[in-house]
Amino acid sequence: MTGLVEGKTALVTGAGSGIGRGSATVFAREGAKVLVADVDDALGAETVALIRAAGGTAEFVHCDVSVDAHVAAAVQRVLELWGRLDCAHNNAGITTMGGPLHEISLADWDRTLAVNLSGVFYCMRHEIPVMLRQGSGAIVNTSSGAGVVAAKGLAHYAATKHGILGLTKTAAQEQARSGVRINAVCPGVVETPTLRGYMERGPEIAKMIQNSTARGVMGQPEEIGEAVVWLCSDRASYVNGETMLVDGGTVAR
């Protein structure tokens, strides 16, 4: 049996670790050639090595998604390598220190918007024209459970994740007749290096995070990747503008 995205090409941002790495490995397992994009060169190289060791095809490009020129170069690199861009997972994001809205620093606000929201805008800004020229393509943006419900103490993060859904739905409607589909995933609590770092601050924090999930267990990056790759596959051909919660039922709506 062929893979879900056999013979296709994929660009994954923030693919050096966490959900991005999980997504990149699933893309490769399902037959896609993957351009791993990340601001951390060492972690990006690790992801490429993991994919190649498993028999997949992957290359790395340094990319800070908060810089439009970096994103343009990453998209161009896909074309240089493989001649087309079939799938894109715009995943790169950050979480800075939280607190009540009025205590969030301007620096944290600006940086969070630059990476999480402007970064997704820059990615789609360069990906969509390529896909339009091809007459086909699929984009998945990473939002969050904090994109559909409030996240007390994380106003800056929640604002960006809500904003990603607005970008996704608008772009999806704009391209509905073009052959380009655009969707979003909203992961719940996923076991990533960032989350593990928070949990290591103390057993109380770890317990709180664990108990915040409906199933009592954290999701794995590859579980999010499975949803992303399916959305990019031809099996999801009639799915467009969708906000897919991948959280084990934590945010049931």
Q: Which pair of structure tokens corresponds to residue 180?
A: 């380009």
Q: How far apart are the first and last CA of the chain?
A: 35
**Per-residue pLDDT tens digits for 104-124:** 999 999 999 999 999 999 999
Domain residue ranges in the chain: 9-190+221-246
Q: Report the predicted TM-score, pTM, of the whole model to 2 decimal places.
A: 0.95
H-run or E-run covering 196: helix 193-199
**Is-catalytic flag, 157?**
yes
CATH superfamily for 9-190+221-246 is: NAD(P)-binding Rossmann-like Domain (3.40.50.720)
d(CA 98, CA 156): 8
Residue among 122, 157, 198, 238 flagged as catalytic? 157
Residue 149's alpha-carbon distances to 112, 140, 143, 252, in angstroms, are 18, 20, 11, 10
Contact (Cβ atoms closer than 8 angstroms) between residue 4 and residue 228: no
What local confidence, expressed as pLDDT, does residue 150 receive?
93
**Per-residue pLDDT tens digits for 21-44:** 999 999 999 999 999 999 999 999
